[in-house]
Chains A and B, each alone.
Chain A
Amino acid sequence: MNKTKLTALAAVAALGLALAGCGSDDPTSSGSSDKGTITVGSAAFPENEIIAEIYAQALEAKGVKVKKQLNIGAREAYIKALKDGAIDLVPEYTGNLLGYLDPKATATTPDAIEDGIDDALPDNLEILDVSKAEDKDSLNVTSEFAAANNLKTIEDLKSVKGLKLGANPEFAERPYGIPGLEKVYGITGVKFTAINDGGGPATLKALLDGKIDVADIYSTTPSILANKLVTLEDPKSLIASQNVVPLINDDKATDTVEDVLNAISAQLTTADLLDLNSKNQGADKTAPAVLAKQWLTDKGLI
Chain B
Amino acid sequence: MSVLSETVDWLTDGDNWSGDAGIPHRVVEHLGYTALTVAIAAAIAIPLGLYIGHTGRLRGLAIAVSGALRALPTLGVLTSILLITGIGLKPSIIALVLLALPPLLAGAYSGLEAVDRSTIDAARAIGMTETQILTKVEVPLALPLIVGGIRSATLQVVATATIAAYVGLGGLGRYLIDGLALSDYPRMAGGSVVVIVLALVLDAVFVALQRLAMGGRATVESAAQS
Q: Which residues of A contact B (CB under 8 A)?
A: 166, 168-170, 172-174, 193-197, 201-202, 205-206, 209, 211
Bound-complex Cα distance A245 to B22 (A): 42
A206 lies within 8 A of B177 (CB): no
Q: B82-111 CB contact bits vs A (8 Å, 1 = yes)? A: 110011100000000000000000000000
Tell me, in angstroms, the Cα distance from A201 to B167 when the chains sit together: 12
Contact B182 A170 (CB under 8 A): yes
- Provide the bound-state CA to CA distance between A201 and B79, in Å: 9
Chain A proximity of B168: nearest CB distance (Å)? 4
If A169-B174, A194-B165, A194-B174 are given as contacts, then 14 extra A-B residue pairs at C-beta distance below 8 Å, sorted by A number, are A166-B168, A170-B178, A172-B178, A173-B178, A173-B182, A193-B87, A194-B168, A195-B167, A196-B166, A202-B79, A206-B87, A211-B86, A211-B87, A211-B88
Q: Output the nearest chain A residue to B83 by Cβ-Cβ distance.
A: A201
* A205, B83: Cβ atoms closer than 8 Å: yes
Q: Which residues of B contact A (CB under 8 A)?
A: 79, 82-83, 86-88, 165-168, 174, 177-178, 181-182
Residues of B within 8 A of A211 (CB): 86-88
Cα of A173 to Cα of B167 in the assembled complex, Å: 17
Please tell me which one of the listed residues A166, A196, A201 contacts residue B177 in the complex, with CB atoms under 8 A apart: A196
Residue contact A209 to B86, C-beta cutoff 8 Å: yes
Residue contact B86 to A206, C-beta cutoff 8 Å = yes
> Chain B nearest CB: distance from A242 CB in Å?
17
Report whether A196 and B181 are in contact in the complex, using a CB–CB cutoff of 8 Å.
yes
B135 CB to closest chain A CB (Å) equals 43
Contacts A202-B79, A205-B86; A196 near B167 (Cβ below 8 A): yes
Asked if residues B82 and A202 are in contact (CB atoms below 8 Å), the reply is yes
Cβ contact within 8 Å between B86 and A169: no
Q: Smallest distance from the beta carbon of B196 to chain A beta carbons, Å?
A: 22
CA distance A34 to B181 in the complex (A): 38
Nearest chain B CB to A117's CB is how many angstroms away?
20
Report Cα–Cα, A289/B168, bound state, in Å. Answer: 37
Contacts of B178 in A (CB 8 A): 169-170, 172-173, 194
Q: Give the distance in Å from the alpha carbon of A195 to the alpha carbon of B78 in the complex.
A: 12
A-B residue pairs in contact (CB < 8 Å), sample of 11: A166-B87, A168-B181, A169-B174, A169-B178, A169-B181, A195-B168, A196-B167, A201-B83, A202-B79, A202-B82, A202-B83
Chain B: minimal CB distance from A171 (Å): 9
Name B184's closest neighbour in chain A (CB-CB). Answer: A173
A173 to B180, CA, bound (A): 13
- What 4 pairs between A and B have smallest CB-CB spacing? A170-B181, A193-B168, A169-B181, A169-B178
- Measured between beta carbons, the chain B residues less than 8 angstroms from A205 are 82-83, 86-87
Least CB separation from B170: chain A residue: A194
Q: Return chain A residues, CB-CB under 8 Å to B167.
A: 195-196, 202
CB A179 to nearest CB in B, in angstroms, measures 13
Bound-state Cα–Cα, A197 to B166, Å: 8
Closest to A170 in B: B181
Q: Which residues of the other chain, A, contact B86 by a CB distance below 8 angstroms?
A: 202, 205-206, 209, 211
Tell me which of B79, B83, B177 contacts A194 (CB under 8 A): B177
- Give the nearest-CB partner of A205 in chain B: B86
Least CB distance, B152 to chain A, in whole angstroms: 25
Q: Is the beta-carbon distance between A174 and B182 smaller than 8 angstroms?
A: yes
CB distance from B134 to the nearest CB of A (A): 40
Contact of A169 among B82, B83, B88, B177 (CB under 8 A): B177
Contacts of A168 in B (CB 8 A): 181
**Among A168, A170, A195, A197, which residue has the most Cβ atoms of chain B within 10 A?**
A170
Neighbouring A residues of B168 by C-beta, 8 Å:
166, 193-195
> Separation in Å of the A185 CB from the closest CB of chain B?
22
Bound: A211/B85 CA distance, A: 11
**Separation of A69 and B59 alpha carbons in the complex (Å):** 53
Nearest chain-B residue to A103 (Cβ)?
Answer: B183
Assess A195 versus B87: contact at CB under 8 Å? Given A166-B168, A202-B167: yes
Q: Which residues does chain B contribute within 8 Å of A172, judged by CB atoms?
A: 178
- Whole-angstrom CA separation of A36 from B81 in the bound complex: 52
Could you say which of A168, A174, A202 has the most chain B C-beta atoms within 10 Å of its C-beta?
A202
For A197, what are the chain B residues with a Cβ–Cβ distance below 8 Å?
79
Kindly state the separation between the CA atoms of A196 and B164 in the bound complex, as whole angstroms: 10
The docked-state distance in angstroms from the alpha carbon of A201 to that of B86 is 10
Does B181 lie within 8 Å of A202, measured CB to CB?
no
A173 to B174 CA separation, bound complex (whole angstroms): 13
Q: Name the A residues within 8 Å of B79 (CB-CB).
A: 197, 202
Identify the closest chain B residue to A192 (Cβ): B168
A195–B169 Cα gap in the complex (Å)?
Answer: 9
Q: Which of B82, B86, B174, B182 has the most CB of A within 10 A?
A: B86
